[in-house]
Chains A and B, each alone.
Chain A
Amino acid sequence: MASITLEPIAPLGGLDLQIGHNRVIEQVDLALVSIAIPLGGDDVLAQRLQDHWGLASPEPTQTSTCDDWRAVSMTADQIMLIGQGDRPTTEAEIAAKLNGTGYTTNQTSAWVCLEVSGPDTVAAFARICPINLALAAFPIGASARTMMDHLGALIIRLDDDCFQVLSASSSAASFAHAVETSYRNVT
């Protein structure tokens, strides 16, 4: 066996941009695991999430949180857990706790995740995101799957002027370019 250890590379190499008073940071150490809800198994899974993590099943367009995870409603039959610190065993550990009450899929490498913040963020995202990001319409904790500059994306509001946005990792550079251009066009 060759003495080689594979080192991961974040899709954007750990992007960290300051644009005016706004900041774009690539979140490089996230773990993402999706959980599909077995047909007819909503209540069982919800109970399991509550029992093991104290995590409520998120309603559509909403998120729920516990100490380690944020749960996002992705589709009618699927949620995604987003947490800090990925390990090779993360998905397996979750699967073990679910014990067949949900089907897990490792999504950590599938997405690039940006935390975007600053006073121009809503204006910048109005250039690429069709979702109404007014605070009243999209409050803290809200989430939406949408398109940004022709790329599928997931957006979560973390604070008044702070969002977590995720898109496909293979097109991360195009996504980051779209976000950066949006900021530069409004600042």
Chain B
Amino acid sequence: MTQSERIAGGLINRSQKLTFTWNGTSLSGFEGDTLASALLANGQHLVGRSFKYHRPRGIFSAGSEEPNALVTLGSGAAQEPNTRATMVELADQITAQSQNHRGPLGWDLMTVNDLLSSFIGAGFYYKTFMWPRSFWEKVYEPVIRASAGLGSLSGIADDSSYDHGFLHCDLLIIGAGPAGLMAALTAARAGLQVIVADEDFLPGGRLNAEMYQIDAMPGAAWAAEQVAELAQMDNVRLMSRTTVYGAFDHGIYGALEVAQPGSDSTKPRQIVWRIYTKRTILASGATERSMIFANNDRPGIMQAGAVRSYVNRYGVGPGRHVAVLTNNDDGLRTAEDLRAKGITVTAVLDARKGEAVKNTFGRRRVSGIILQDDTSLAVDCLAVSGGWSPNVHLSSHQRGRPVWDGDIAGFIPGADQSPGMVVCGAAKGVFGLAAVLESGARVAGDIATDLGCHAKIDLPDTSNEAVGTAPIFDLAASKGRAWVDLQNDVTTKDIAIAQAEGFTAAEHMKRYTTLGMATDQGKTANVLGLAVMANLQNQTIAETGTTIFRPPYTPVSIGALAGRARGQNFRPKRLTPSHQWARENGADFVEVGTWIRPQWYKRPGEKGWRDSVDREVRMTRASVGICDVTTLGKIDIQGRNAAEFLNRIYANPFLKVPVGKVRYGLMLREDGVAYDDGTTARLSETHFIMTTTTANAVTVFRNLEFARQCLWPDLDVHLNSVTDAWAQFAVAGPNARALLSKVVDDLDLSNAAFPFMACTDCTVFGGTLARLFRISFSGELAYEVAVPSRYGNAMMAALIKVGHDFDAVPYGTEALSVMRIEKGHAAGNELNGQTTAHMLSMGAMVSQKKDAIGTRLSQRPEMIRDDDLRLMGFRPVDGGDTLIAGAHFLTQGADASMANDQGWMSSVAYSPSLGHAVGLGFLKRGADRIGETIVAHSPVRGGDILVEVCSPHHIDPKGERQRG
């Protein structure tokens, strides 16, 4: 096609021809076109099918309120469904397809729905799919899901990049139409830091679409001059293609910036900005409404303002024989603009004079209208103006409720707007160009004064055009179906059904009929729907009320919301200090929260992970193993009252821990439930190092800070997280002492000089700072040695090298876990937020001679019952059986019911040391049941296993190894 409907004039660049593809056909447009204007220039009025009835639909608007022209852009990874053609800036070689039809767009098989419309009105699905019950999931749901929605995703990961960002300003101006530009000029000249955001790629708003004169020049030219001035000012950031989609707390706004199509594809395609501003001016303009008459949804029936946009801005004739239907003076101006472009105006029907359209006809595009006297007029476009609705949406995002203004027949912002926001121009219900410009200037001037700047109000020379909107919405001249919400296929009949069925509140009607939902959020439909509702209830629109709005103002893609947080960058990764060494030495890694840890080290010949883990456990218990345990939380606690502080934090006493000693500690929540454990070492009278579990490192630190700052600010205590500062290695096994004696400088490691639970500052390998702790998670003779983390990689290599004489082996988290289960140490599975000290057999640790967080509530009768659950060990009666974590315990012969539930298995492992599986779990009256055989029942993962109750300390129950 050759742009057959292109006419003279407009703001497009005719020297820059662009080629694009629509439903497989190559078409052309010009720089400055939208996809919608280019389609119209090529005579393409039918652009999609309606949501429910699959009616032919055409381009209705020229802006972000578009309900009909939703298309799929691109294909494959870049495919983007449900894109408003009116907001797509035309670029060379873009491809677009129509949506929601089976078969060609012109011959949609689903138009059968339109024939069945009597049966599928509002809420039909609530009543229709009731029986038979067996059809619910197998028939109804698949059919409904297949029918629902408009466009579809490709199913291929989007390879575009997206980003987020933060901006700051004194004044955010939302909208760069006449009010916004005037406000920006006034504020910027006064010296404020100003951000102007506009969803269009060409600032100016309606000035680009109308034939206004300002300062004796066309409005569009005046707008361009002002934009040029603003662009030169250092204190102004002009953001075109940027939609402010949400007003949030504390002067924070969300904005979506879309890159110019065809720009550098290596840069982010869309950016979500968080804008922090002291003040905000909402200059978002207004949206034109349609009117209600039979078959008012045909392609070619458009907003009158959109018709003027296409004619004046884009140089496109939406029709060659155009009728105008209006309830205000804009309609009359439409006729003038069309005639000025040489387009035939077939009729101007002024509803204020009682003139109306009774019906329309035409299959894929309107071809005629029927008037009240049943005469027909041949038209190929009907321009409709039902008045303008101020774009109040962002003023509602913090529960601001719009109020009805009868003078303009629309809702305007109420008094309870977002803090710091003022509304001006058409968004406030101010119509008439001179008034709009003054409105923008005045509010900006007031804000500048309020922020301590001097503003000069300098208004250009222009005039106010006539408006004169009459509240006429529903022409109701025929019995045919009349559409209220084009996007959701809601007709006046649907609203009547809702009314009849008791959905008489605006919010209920919306949800029952779907009016005002989906991508356009009812921008062109809401007032019409309320008008119909008010009429049915024989009351005014003001009495009927309205729904309010929440973010986003217009759709925001999931990709933009995700930003960079996808794939490998979904969240930060934390690497252990010896990560490089581990990678070079066969480690298989696992995510532990944000940490990446070796879970085992594969050796040649090992066929599976069990081979590696079993070897690591065996060799550690036989000689010595080394594990990077840096991920455990490490908190540096200093101060005159550090010991007192810890004494109040831990359930067990800490006041008298000697310098050079480590103590195991148990933390309780305020409700007395156990939540973390670890060891804390006293390095000096005023200095402790606490370790926490990896999982709770942040939680514990946060809670300590809360206790320090809020509970006991009178204590001299100071905290630092030093988890990242120190690389810490467990050295465990019978040869641990022998190995470390070759590592640690000038320190007697004998049992007498450095016994179990000793600690000290020291140096290693001839002078590197270090700390040494004699603690054991494995149950073996063990130490943990720490060096500054930048030495961690070298330390790991050195420990292995020195340990060569002892067949030292690195071990990962799996072997670590196996050994702690063998030893019977509680970990995350046991400290699950439900277990008490009593259940963990640590009830005696909870000191009753002092007060600590959680002590009081831990002594409630239900939490210290002797017949309650108790942490126990379990081993399979048949040594070949595998245990299952999560299995529930039953006495033999009991039915598997909640009433018979005896507890659960929390941790299991195969013990290479014992040659069979071992488990930990909680069992009712467990301490009294050692030796009893019970059933571990796992209905989910299959089968019953007979297990024998035993001590949780499967290995070395007397602790002789770790103390040796």
Given contacts A9-B794, A38-B716, are A149 and B564 in contact (CB under 8 A)?
yes
Residues of B within 8 A of A134 (CB): 168, 193
Residue of A nearest to B705 (CB): A75
Residues of A within 8 A of B167 (CB): 126
A36 with B639: CB separation less than 8 A: yes
B594 with A109: CB separation less than 8 A: no
Residues of B within 8 A of A129 (CB): 166
Residues of A within 8 A of B577 (CB): 170
In the bound assembly, the distance between CA atoms of A9 and B337 in angstroms comes to 73
B724 with A170: CB separation less than 8 A: yes
B572 with A175: CB separation less than 8 A: yes
A168 with B720: CB separation less than 8 A: no
In the bound assembly, the distance between CA atoms of A175 and B569 in angstroms comes to 11
A130 with B166: CB separation less than 8 A: yes
Given contacts A6-B765, A103-B686, A132-B168, are A185 and B161 in contact (CB under 8 A)?
yes
In the bound assembly, the distance between CA atoms of A185 and B726 in angstroms comes to 34
Residues of A within 8 A of B721 (CB): 110
Q: Least Cβ distance of B237 to chain A in Å?
A: 10
Given contacts A38-B716, A127-B165, are A149 and B793 in contact (CB under 8 A)?
no
Residues of B within 8 A of A132 (CB): 168, 276
CB interface residues, A 1-32, toward B, < 8 Å? 1-2, 4-11
- Flag whether A73 is at the interface (Cβ < 8 A): no
Residues of B within 8 A of A61 (CB): none
**Cross-interface CB contact of A2 among B271, B572, B798, cutoff 8 Å:** B798
Residue of B nearest to A150 (CB): B572
In the bound assembly, the distance between CA atoms of A35 and B15 in angstroms comes to 67
- Flag whether B791 is at the interface (Cβ < 8 A): yes
A8 with B794: CB separation less than 8 A: yes
**Cross-interface CB contact of B794 among A6, A151, A181, cutoff 8 Å:** A6
Residues of A within 8 A of B301 (CB): none
B575 with A170: CB separation less than 8 A: yes
- Flag whether B251 is at the interface (Cβ < 8 A): no
- Flag whether B267 is at the interface (Cβ < 8 A): yes
In the bound assembly, the distance between CA atoms of A178 and B793 in angstroms comes to 24
B575 with A173: CB separation less than 8 A: yes
- Flag whether A65 is at the interface (Cβ < 8 A): no
A107 with B640: CB separation less than 8 A: no
- Flag whether A111 is at the interface (Cβ < 8 A): yes
A171 with B594: CB separation less than 8 A: yes
Of A4, A37, A173, most B-chain CB atoms within 10 Å: A4
CB interface residues, A 88-121, toward B, < 8 Å? 88, 103, 105-111
In the bound assembly, the distance between CA atoms of A88 and B565 in angstroms comes to 39
A8 with B724: CB separation less than 8 A: no
- Flag whether B542 is at the interface (Cβ < 8 A): no
How does the 8 Å CB contact mask read for B554-574 relative to A, with 1 for contact and 0 for none?
000000000011000101111
A107 with B569: CB separation less than 8 A: no
A11 with B790: CB separation less than 8 A: yes
A88 with B790: CB separation less than 8 A: no
Residues of B within 8 A of A11 (CB): 790
Residues of B within 8 A of A36 (CB): 638-639, 718, 720
Given contacts A8-B791, A9-B790, are A2 and B743 in contact (CB under 8 A)?
yes
Given contacts A1-B745, A103-B638, A171-B594, are A9 and B580 in contact (CB under 8 A)?
yes
A103 with B576: CB separation less than 8 A: no
Residue of B nearest to A1 (CB): B742
Residue of A nearest to B794 (CB): A6
A105 with B742: CB separation less than 8 A: no
A4 with B718: CB separation less than 8 A: no
CB interface residues, B 705-722, toward A, < 8 Å? 714-716, 718, 720-722
Residues of A within 8 A of B164 (CB): 127-128
In the bound assembly, the distance between CA atoms of A128 and B636 in angstroms comes to 29
- Flag whether B224 is at the interface (Cβ < 8 A): no
In the bound assembly, the distance between CA atoms of A129 and B727 in angstroms comes to 29
How does the 8 Å CB contact mask read for B763-792 relative to A, with 1 for contact and 0 for none?
111111100000000000000000111110
Residues of B within 8 A of A77 (CB): 718
Residue of B nearest to A130 (CB): B166
Q: Least Cβ distance of B302 to chain A in Å?
A: 39
In the bound assembly, the distance between CA atoms of A129 and B721 in angstroms comes to 22
B718 with A2: CB separation less than 8 A: no
- Flag whether B329 is at the interface (Cβ < 8 A): no
B725 with A109: CB separation less than 8 A: yes
In the bound assembly, the distance between CA atoms of A145 and B573 in angstroms comes to 20
Main secondary structure of the interface of B (DSSP, over half): mixed
How does the 8 Å CB contact mask read for A70-98 relative to B, with 1 for contact and 0 for none?
00000001100000000010000000000
Q: Least Cβ distance of A32 to chain B in Å?
A: 9
B725 with A38: CB separation less than 8 A: no
B788 with A106: CB separation less than 8 A: yes
Residue of B nearest to A124 (CB): B165
Residues of B within 8 A of A8 (CB): 788, 790-791, 794
- Flag whether B795 is at the interface (Cβ < 8 A): yes
How does the 8 Å CB contact mask read for A117-152 relative to B, with 1 for contact and 0 for none?
000000000111111101001000000000001110
Residues of A within 8 A of B276 (CB): 130, 132
- Flag whether A62 is at the interface (Cβ < 8 A): no
Residue of B nearest to A77 (CB): B718
In the bound assembly, the distance between CA atoms of A170 and B795 in angstroms comes to 16
Q: Least Cβ distance of B739 to chain A in Å?
A: 10
- Flag whether A174 is at the interface (Cβ < 8 A): yes
Q: Least Cβ distance of B712 to chain A in Å?
A: 11
A174 with B572: CB separation less than 8 A: yes
- Flag whether A47 is at the interface (Cβ < 8 A): no
Q: Least Cβ distance of B924 to chain A in Å?
A: 42
Of B164, B577, B716, most A-chain CB atoms within 10 Å: B716
Residues of B within 8 A of A175 (CB): 572
Residues of B within 8 A of A64 (CB): none
- Flag whether B660 is at the interface (Cβ < 8 A): no
In the bound assembly, the distance between CA atoms of A183 and B926 in angstroms comes to 60
- Flag whether A63 is at the interface (Cβ < 8 A): no
CB interface residues, A 30-49, toward B, < 8 Å? 34, 36-40
In the bound assembly, the distance between CA atoms of A2 and B266 in angstroms comes to 52
**Cross-interface CB contact of A5 among B640, B687, B765, cutoff 8 Å:** B765
A6 with B795: CB separation less than 8 A: yes
Residue of B nearest to A184 (CB): B266
**Cross-interface CB contact of B268 among A1, A111, A185, cutoff 8 Å:** A185
In the bound assembly, the distance between CA atoms of A105 and B688 in angstroms comes to 11
In the bound assembly, the distance between CA atoms of A146 and B790 in angstroms comes to 24
B640 with A38: CB separation less than 8 A: yes
Residues of A within 8 A of B165 (CB): 126-128
Given contacts A4-B801, A103-B686, are A9 and B793 in contact (CB under 8 A)?
yes
B767 with A2: CB separation less than 8 A: no
Given contacts A4-B765, A130-B166, are A151 and B572 in contact (CB under 8 A)?
yes
Residues of A within 8 A of B266 (CB): 184
Given contacts A2-B742, A109-B790, are A39 and B715 in contact (CB under 8 A)?
yes
Residues of A within 8 A of B727 (CB): 109
Residues of B within 8 A of A174 (CB): 569, 572-574
A7 with B725: CB separation less than 8 A: no
- Flag whether B163 is at the interface (Cβ < 8 A): yes
In the bound assembly, the distance between CA atoms of A140 and B745 in angstroms comes to 45
**Cross-interface CB contact of B766 among A1, A128, A137, A172, cutoff 8 Å:** A1
Q: Least Cβ distance of A182 to chain B in Å?
A: 8
A103 with B725: CB separation less than 8 A: no
- Return 18 A-B CB contacts under 8 Å, by A number: A1-B766, A2-B765, A4-B766, A4-B801, A4-B802, A9-B580, A9-B793, A39-B639, A88-B767, A88-B768, A103-B687, A108-B788, A109-B789, A110-B721, A111-B724, A127-B165, A149-B572, A173-B575
Closest 4 CB pairs of A and B: A36-B718, A110-B725, A174-B572, A132-B168
Given A37-B718, A170-B577: 17 more A-B contacts, CB < 8 Å: A1-B765, A2-B801, A9-B791, A88-B763, A103-B638, A103-B639, A105-B638, A106-B725, A109-B788, A109-B791, A128-B164, A150-B571, A150-B572, A171-B594, A172-B575, A174-B572, A185-B163
Q: A interface vs B, CB < 8 Å? A: 1-2, 4-11, 34, 36-40, 77-78, 88, 103, 105-111, 126-132, 134, 137, 149-151, 168-175, 177-178, 181, 184-185
